[in-house]
């Protein structure tokens, strides 16, 4: 019997959530409305009562956070080259200059010592990224920000449900940006949320979210900031509310699957495993590194032939044409280039069983030459 194809991720959406979406469609109110307000309230509760505003993407939350932080032309923003390209694109979008620094090869997150060395009088903010859901060291991050008077925009797109020292990501800190894209641990199909610091007026965020419009009780309106079109729909929010009921169970399941990989992956495969953090990381992705010299394209094709989907997250962004044209060069960030060139994302999602981990390991055994 041929087993069904095993993708690297798949959302788990229950029948109750599907029914809730149908109810929204029948209600006649399908764009931003009561479901979005309910989702914001539920997210705020998880974030220790901090104000939360939902958006139509995690990219939009990053861009608006930078604008709210006053970042613009002439400013520099420090971030990592090993991330989805949106992290750096939003810096360009607001007219600022992205300053990239290499990763710590042990965590694969931004090297905060290198970040400190890159700070200049033009540095306005830092965007750390929790790669694969492993939190950047928040103690070191916020000490650095305090020392140099920097705003922090946490790219926590991958770390909803993770924690730092037992404190939920989003429950403390400056700006925190979550993504609820289809492949995230909690999805609204497309979407995101921005957790706000106390110096930011939530009403201003709402204006930035929707064309800068401010309405008055007499039916009039004004536009006082350059906003965009970033609002979430109630259809999407209904999905998010359904997902939120299960997020703790999803996280627990992901951690158990990650443990299964660690237990079952044969060291003879020659894979370099990610940090084994089963307390703080939400295991958004399971990302070993292929042995040096492996043809990754051939590996992906061979795994697909065996019914196993494998992703690549992420190529180092400074090697993209857009960023080469800004002056970035190959060899500039060797750790990011090494990890980005060898990383693969193996299947890991809540609907998986231990037998699926066995399938992946069997496919790896067939595809990778054994090391002594």
Identify the CATH number of the domain in which residue 155 sits: 3.40.640.10
Just list the catalytic residues. 184
Q: At which of 221, 244, 267 does a domain end? A: 244
pLDDT at position 197 is 98
Assess if residue 290 is contained within a domain. yes
Assess if residue 10 is contained within a domain. no
pLDDT at position 336 is 98
Co-location of 229 and 274 in the same domain? no
Co-location of 54 and 87 in the same domain? yes
pLDDT at position 372 is 63
Assess if residue 9 is contained within a domain. no
Which residue positions in the chain have pLDDT lower than 70?
Answer: 1, 372
Assess if residue 6 is contained within a domain. no
Looking up residue 347, the CATH number of its domain turns out to be: 3.90.1150.10
Domain count within the chain: 2
Strand-strand pairing, 97-100 and 151-155 = unpaired
Which DSSP helix (H) or strand (E) runs through 323?
Answer: helix 321-324
Co-location of 49 and 158 in the same domain? yes
Do 331 and 277 meet the contact criterion of CB atoms below 8 Å apart? no
pLDDT at position 370 is 84
Co-location of 258 and 123 in the same domain? no
Assess if residue 7 is contained within a domain. no
Co-location of 113 and 208 in the same domain? yes
Whether residue 314 has a cis bond before it, omega within 30° of 0: yes
Co-location of 30 and 165 in the same domain? yes
Co-location of 86 and 205 in the same domain? yes
pLDDT tens digits along 157-179 = 999 999 999 999 999 999 999 99
Residue with tokens 């620094």: 101
Report the sign of the C-alpha dihedral through residues 86, 89, 90, 93, in that order.
negative
Assess if residue 4 is contained within a domain. no
Assess if residue 2 is contained within a domain. no
Whole-structure pTM value? 0.97
Using only C-alpha atoms, the chain has a radius of gyration, in whole angstroms, of 21
Report the sign of the C-alpha dihedral through residues 186, 188, 189, 191, in that order.
negative
Co-location of 33 and 162 in the same domain? yes
Co-location of 233 and 253 in the same domain? no
Q: At which of 226, 244, 262 does a domain end? A: 244
Co-location of 205 and 186 in the same domain? yes
Q: At which of 244, 265, 294 does a domain end? A: 244
Q: CA 210, CA 229: separation in Å to the nearest integer? A: 5
pLDDT at position 95 is 98
How many Cα atoms sit within 13 Å of 21 on the Cβ side?
Answer: 16
Provide the domain limits for residue 360.
247-367
Co-location of 307 and 330 in the same domain? yes
Co-location of 269 and 191 in the same domain? no
Number of residues that make up the chain: 372
Assess if residue 169 is contained within a domain. yes
């Amino acid at each position: 019997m041929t087993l069904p194809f095993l993708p690297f991720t798949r959302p788990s959406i229950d029948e109750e959530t599907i029914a809730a979406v149908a109810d929204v469609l029948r209600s006649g109110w399908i764009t931003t409305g009561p479901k979005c307000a309910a989702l914001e309230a539920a997210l705020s509760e998880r974030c220790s009562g901090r104000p939360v505003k939902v958006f139509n993407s995690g990219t939009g939350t990053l861009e608006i956070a930078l604008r709210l932080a006053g970042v613009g032309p002439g400013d520099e923003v420090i971030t990592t080259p090993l991330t989805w390209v949106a992290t750096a694109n939003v810096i360009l979008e607001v007219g600022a200059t992205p300053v990239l620094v290499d990763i710590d090869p042990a965590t694969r997150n931004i090297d905060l010592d290198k970040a400190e060395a890159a700070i200049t009088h033009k540095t306005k903010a830092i965007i750390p990224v929790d790669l694969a859901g492993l939190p950047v060291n928040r103690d070191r991050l916020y000490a650095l920000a305090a020392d140099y008077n920097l705003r922090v925009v946490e790219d926590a797109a991958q770390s909803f449900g993770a924690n730092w020292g037992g404190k939920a990501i989003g429950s403390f800190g400056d700006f925190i940006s979550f993504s609820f894209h289809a492949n995230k641990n909690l999805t609204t199909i497309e979407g995101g949320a921005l957790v706000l610091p106390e110096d930011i007026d939530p009403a201003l965020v709402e204006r930035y979210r929707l064309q800068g419009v401010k309405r008055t009780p007499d039916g009039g309106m004004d536009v006082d900031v350059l906003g965009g079109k970033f609002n979430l729909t109630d259809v999407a929010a209904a999905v998010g509310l359904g997902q939120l009921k299960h997020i703790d169970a999803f996280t627990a399941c992901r951690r158990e699957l990650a443990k299964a990989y660690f237990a079952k992956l044969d060291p003879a495969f020659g894979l370099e495993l990610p940090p084994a953090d089963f307390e703080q990381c939400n295991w958004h992705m399971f990302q070993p590194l292929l042995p040096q010299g492996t043809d990754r394209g051939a590996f992906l094709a061979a795994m697909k032939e065996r019914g196993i989907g494998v992703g690549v997250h992420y190529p180092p962004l400074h090697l993209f044409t857009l960023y080469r044209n800004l002056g970035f060069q190959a060899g500039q960030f060797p750790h990011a280039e090494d990890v980005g060139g060898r990383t693969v994302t193996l299947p890991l999602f809540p609907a998986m069983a231990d037998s699926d981990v066995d399938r992946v390991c069997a496919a790896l055994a067939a595809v990778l030459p054994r090391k002594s």
